[in-house]
Amino acid sequence: MIIIPAIDIIDGKCVRLTQGDYAQKKIYNENPLEVAKEFEAAGITHLHLVDLDGAKSQHIVNYKVLETISKNTSLKIDFGGGIKSNNDIRIAFDCGANQVTGGSIAVKNKSLFIEWIKSYGADKIILGADVKNGKIAVNGWKEESQEELFQFLKNYISSGIKYVICTDITKDGLLQGTATELYKQILTKFPTIKLIASGGVSSVDELNELRSAGLYGAIVGKAFYEGRIKLNELKS
């Protein structure tokens, strides 16, 4: 299982939110590149970079942060937040993203998202499935759609998607545990996908549980920034 630390960006700074609430923002570092280099030095290979300004404004904003990290580290970056148009995705890849995650776009403009899977290839596009009460949430989690999780996944797997980041919003940023049972259910139904857990990871024991459950990857955010999981424990 790949351990993927997260860097969330607001105003060019490394922050964390609680349950996607912009009012519950904590700044951890003014310089995201510094954080990324710490990950790289510790042997980390992947990075989950989220443009929270982009998610809010519905177009890519912090692409310069992406470009700086990609040019100055060897981290494989998956980038998300505000990727809503052909121009947005082009900028993300031009600035060094290895993969792009689409969440809201996959609900709001399915034909465009499917076009991206076909144009860029299934190895380049990650489906972001942010879940609340069994339904997919969109637009920085401020809005709940009518899309039911399992049908949503089924539809996109049939369209060629391989990678899925699934976040249980009720657990995100609380350091009270991750949605292991939900992930087990997803993998039972869809055993071929590369499922990446996100939200609520609070300990190395939970990472081990996710590994045992067959997850492809796990994103770690607040647990690292709050010292619950040490940098040397983040290696895959």
Question: Can you tell me the distance from the alpha carbon of 87 to that of 126, in angstroms, rounded to the nearest whole number?
Answer: 17
The structure tokens listed for 82 are: 């505000």
Q: Which residue has the higher pLDDT, 34 or 22?
A: 34
pLDDT value at position 177? 77
pLDDT value at 236 more than 60? no
* Residue 175 binned pLDDT confidence (cut-offs 50, 70, 90): low
Active site residues: 8, 130
pLDDT value at 186 more than 80? yes
The structure tokens listed for 233 are: 């424990």
Q: Which residue has the higher pLDDT, 130 or 162?
A: 162
pLDDT value at 20 more than 60? yes
Residue entry with tokens 């039972």: 188
pLDDT value at position 132? 84
Residues of the chain with pLDDT > 70, as a percent, come to 93
pLDDT value at position 125? 98
> 234 with 224: CB under 8 angstroms?
yes
Question: Can you tell me the distance from the alpha carbon of 14 to that of 52, in angstroms, rounded to the nearest whole number?
Answer: 10
Phi and psi at residue 15, to the nearest 5°: -130, 170
Picking from 35, 30, 61, the residue whose alpha carbon sits closest to that of residue 48 is: 35
The structure tokens listed for 138 are: 């969109």
CATH topology of domain 2-233: TIM Barrel (3.20.20)
* Residue 171 binned pLDDT confidence (cut-offs 50, 70, 90): low
For residue 212, CA distances in Å to 79, 206, 215 come to: 27, 10, 8
Residue entry with tokens 């797997």: 157
3-state helix, strand, coil in the chain (%, to 5): 35, 30, 35
Angle at 134 between CA 133 and CA 139, to 5 degrees: 80
Q: Residue 212 burial by CB count (10 A; 0-12/13-18/19+): exposed, middle or buried?
A: exposed
Q: Which residue has the higher pLDDT, 37 or 141?
A: 37
Q: Per residue in 57-112, pLDDT tens?
A: 889 999 999 999 999 999 999 999 999 999 999 999 999 999 999 988 999 999 99
DSSP code, position 168: E
pLDDT value at position 144? 64
* Residue 174 binned pLDDT confidence (cut-offs 50, 70, 90): low
pLDDT value at position 176? 65
The structure tokens listed for 170 are: 């009720």
